[in-house]
Amino acid sequence: MSTAGALGKDEPQRSRHRIKALSPQLVNQIAAGEIIERPASILKELLENSLDAGATRIRVEAENGGVKRLRVSDNGQGILKEDLTLAMSRHATSKLEVIEDLDKVATLGFRGEALPSIASVTRMTLQSRTDDSDQGWEITSEGDNRTSEPRPVALPQGTSIEVRDLFYNLPARRKFLRTDQTEQGHLVQVIRRMALARFDVAFEFHYNGRAVMHLLPVASQDDARIAAVCGQQMADNSLKFDESGGGMNVRGWVSLPGFSRSQRDMQYFFVNGRLITDKTVSHALRQAYQDVLFHGRHPAYVIYLEMDPAGVDVNVHPSKREVRFRDSRAVHNFVYHAIHKQLSGSAGEHGSITVMHDAVSGDSRSGAATYRPGAQQGIPLSSPVRQQLQSYRALHGSIADSAQQGVAVGDEEVPPLGYAVAQLHGIYILAENKTGLVMVDMHAAHERITYEAMKESLSSKTGNGIPTQSLLVPVTLRVSDAEQDAWERNQGVFEGVGLIMDRMDEKVLVVREVPEMLRNSDVPQLVRDVLSDLLEHGVSDRVDETINEVLSTMACHGSVRANRSLTLEEMNALLRDMERTERSGQCNHGRPTWIQFGIGEMDSWFKRGQ
């Protein structure tokens, strides 16, 4: 970065060692270094400002990756003519007055740094008109932060900010910009995030003169925005949920295990409307999915957590992407349990969950609708996946309901997965139930049942304690002060999971016994992972997770392989086991174990009754 602004060339040599205040220009450029990496970072700040100003329609225009030109126009409340110049100066904000305000920041911005930082690395034009003014005003600024006097300009109510030639005065930074196409991709990603944060706002994106995105405003829980931003597949393959407790609310969409992704590219987590990345939260989600996702696959989700703003510090990083939770353990538990509950399918019991595609196209022959009272009706079924989703919910709902009431749901006592009628190619079981035809992948289903049974017997056999085995050669490991401290404070936790340890020396721990199932695993690594979980989140499920991984492998090997013929009795027994087993909707590897075809859908294959 050039320092020409701070140390003029005309300064005598000796002033090199004198202390001088940085010029405002340099201060802004340094701040810009923290928040402005590329055009997309500017777009993020401008969109946040538009939303803070109460805009309901936002139009974005960009040329050449946004490097050459980027413009954001909104219909928000606008800026007074007298404030235009101030808005461009450092630490000037309308959103915060006293330090206490920081505890309850409800706006996306509050640091008053964005506009001056952007202005210091671009050529910027700011136009605005408030609702009580009969015309708009415009000021311009070139990188040196010399802003022009306001000039009148024709403009509807709102604000329009245009920046050109990003980093024109910082060639070194400019070199780090990628191809236009890559930068455009980042711009789109920013618009997507904002669009997920605010369903009620319309977004338009014009790139190189062409309209490339137009999102209409919708109600806050409407799948249409999810479909528009994340794709119809995500909308079709996710569970919509809404849970409250402990002063928090969490709602949103989580992908069904069958719809996992190879990358973490479709994971959005908002806290009080702000998109964040947070280790506690990602840990909670990873854990919620770990039983149902194959290793190396990632879930997709759009999740909104609402909580008391006083419980979360947003002033942690200039880009405001990170937050600090006052009680991260409570947040961890709340998020984990809410999501885990969706995935294990027992949420219906509490009646607080809304099921996304639960309607059964008004088909009165289908029993599924009766399982889930209050579900929306009338969404036409289009894909088998959607059907599978419904059946999945319906089955779990029905198990939950009948367990609660002690009687079977519906007038006939047909079990949810029905009765076996045949086996196909030694791989699939065909069964008839009230809704129509059920197709079961024998191997996957058996694997899931075995896995859950092994887990169950492990926890019941051992009660509290997991069977342990003494190590012939105890493992010693050197730990930090903090780690030693964490161990001392949590000895009960370690014993509870079968890790029997002592302190051998100052900062040296020795592991004497480990859970039997983990005798062949990397013990020091496991202990370290547990310690770091404890330090970071206050809790650790690492040992359970590892045991489950081992169980899952064992289950896979112990399960019925394909190509074995089963008798009808055996098939029916498998179906009944599936109904009793938690999460039998998918195998341990995240593949579905069964699919439902409704009679209505089959009729439509043959164009019956049309």
Binding site for Mg ion (CB under 5 A): 49, 109, 114
- Looking only at the bridges linking them, the beta strands covering 436-441 and 500-505 are unpaired
Considering CB distances under 5 to 8 angstroms, the limit depending on partner class, which of Mg ion, ligand ADP, none binds residue 284?
A: none
Output the smallest distance, CB 5 to Mg ion, in A.
24
CB closer to Mg ion, 49 vs 370: 49
Q: Report the nearest approach of Mg ion to the CB of residue 527 (Å).
A: 45
Nearest approach in angstroms of CB 25 to Mg ion is: 20
Distance CA 230, CA 493 (A): 40
* 590 conformational bin, left if phi > 0, alpha if psi -120 to 50, beta if neither: left
Task: Give the nearest distance from C-beta 93 to ligand ADP in angstroms.
Answer: 3
From ligand ADP, Mg ion, none, interface partner of 414 (C-beta below 5 to 8 A by class)? none
**Which of 315, 484 has the CB closer to ligand ADP?**
315
The option from ligand ADP, Mg ion, none interacting with 110 (CB < 5 to 8 A, set by class) reads: ligand ADP
Output 320 or 542, the one with its CB closest to ligand ADP.
Answer: 320
CB atoms < 10 A from the CB of 262, how many? 8
**Least distance to ligand ADP, CB of residue 80, Å:** 9
Tokens describing residue 131: 């609702």
Task: Compute the distance between CA of residue 590 and CA of residue 291 in angstroms, rounded to an integer.
Answer: 8
> In the complex, which residue's CB is closest to Mg ion?
109
Q: Which does 89 bind (CB under 5 to 8 A by kind): ligand ADP, Mg ion, none?
A: none
**Which is closer to ligand ADP, CB of 87 or CB of 191?**
87
Minimum distance between the CB of residue 204 and ligand ADP, rounded to whole angstroms?
A: 15
Give least dist CB 34 to ligand ADP, A: 14
- 166 contact, one of Mg ion, ligand ADP, none, CB 5-8 Å limit per kind: none
CB of 85 to Mg ion, least distance (A): 16
Based on CB atoms, which residue is closest to Mg ion, 315 or 462?
Answer: 315
Residue 387 has phi, psi (to 5 degrees) of: -65, -40
The item of ligand ADP, Mg ion, none sharing an interface with residue 311, based on CB under 5 to 8 Å by kind, is none
Q: Are 380 and 357 within 8 A, CB to CB?
A: no
- Beta bridge partner(s), residue 152: 137
Separation between Cα atoms, residue 300 and residue 318, nearest integer Å: 27
In the chain, what is the straight-line distance between the N-terminal and C-terminal CA atoms, in Å? Answer: 71
Is 46 or 230 the residue whose CB approaches Mg ion more closely?
46
Q: Which of ligand ADP, Mg ion, none interacts with 535 (beta carbon under 5 to 8 A by kind)?
A: none
Contacts of 312 (CB under 8 A, 6+ apart): 271, 272, 323, 324, 325, 326
Q: How many CA atoms lie within 13 A of 495 on its CB side?
A: 6
Output the CA torsion sign for 136, 203, 276, 188.
negative
Whichever of 65 and 109 has its CB closer to ligand ADP, that residue is 109
Q: Among all chains, which residue has been given the structure tokens 């609402």?
A: 306
Q: Give the nearest residue (CB) to ligand ADP.
A: 109
Q: Which does 93 bind (CB under 5 to 8 A by kind): ligand ADP, Mg ion, none?
A: ligand ADP
| Rounded least distance, CB 521 to ligand ADP, Å | 49
Which residue lies nearer to ligand ADP by CB, 115 or 509?
Answer: 115
Q: Which is nearer to ligand ADP, 67 or 87 (CB)?
A: 87
Token digits for 416? Answer: 């949810």
Q: CB 162 → ligand ADP: shortest distance, Å?
A: 12
Tokens of 500: 């029997």
**Which entry of Mg ion, ligand ADP, none binds 439, CB below 5 to 8 A by partner kind?**
none
Q: Could you please report the per-residue DSSP string of 574-594?
A: HHHHHHHSTTTTB-TTS-BSE
**Which among Mg ion, ligand ADP, none contacts residue 416 (Cβ within 5 to 8 A by kind)?**
none
Query: Shortest approach of ligand ADP to residue 109 CB, angstroms?
Result: 2
- Which of ligand ADP, Mg ion, none does 336 bind, CB closer than 5 to 8 A by kind? none
Contact residues toward ligand ADP (CB under 6 A) are: 45, 49-50, 53, 74, 76-79, 87, 92-95, 109-115, 159
Tokens of 462: 């051992």
Residue closer to ligand ADP, measured from CB, 93 or 208? 93
Nearer to Mg ion, 46 or 543 (CB): 46
442-462 vs 542-558: helix axis angle to the nearest 10?
A: 130
Over the range 459-496, which residues count as b (16 or more CB within 10 Å of their CB) and which as e?
Answer: eeeeeeebebeeeeeebebebeeebbebbeebeebbbe
Look at residues 328, 341, 335, 345 and name the one whose alpha carbon lies nearest to residue 248.
335
Cross-strand pairs, 239: 254
CB atoms within 10 A of CB 502: 13
